[in-house]
């Protein structure tokens, strides 16, 4: 991982519908960003699992609501 003092931090937002078909895209986007910022491969795998679980929970509990926006 890169030295924290050498890193610049930027806020990024990804907003997608609460639908299962977007899980793969979310995982790929987060993995690419993590890899680009120097995360080791095993940490990226852990991050993808945690993100999948969080996003799946949002989808499971928001089905049937008119509007769903969740930050993960």
Handedness of CA 26, 28, 33, 38 (dihedral sign): positive
> What's the rounded Cα separation, in Å, for the pair 72 and 62?
14
Q: In whole angstroms, what is the distance from residue 41 CA to residue 72 CA? A: 20
Give the predicted TM-score (pTM) of the model: 0.66
Q: What digits encode the pLDDT tens for the residues 12-54?
A: 888 888 888 888 998 999 999 999 989 999 999 999 999 889 8
**Domain range list for the chain:** 16-72
What DSSP character marks residue 32? Answer: H
């Amino acid at each position: 991982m890169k030295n924290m003092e050498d890193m610049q931090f930027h806020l990024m937002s990804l907003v997608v519908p609460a639908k299962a078909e977007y899980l793969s895209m979310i995982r790929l986007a987060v993995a690419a960003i993590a890899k680009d910022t120097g995360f080791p491969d095993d940490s990226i795998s852990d991050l993808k699992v945690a993100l999948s679980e969080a996003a799946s929970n949002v989808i499971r509990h928001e089905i049937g609501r008119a509007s769903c926006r969740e930050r993960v």
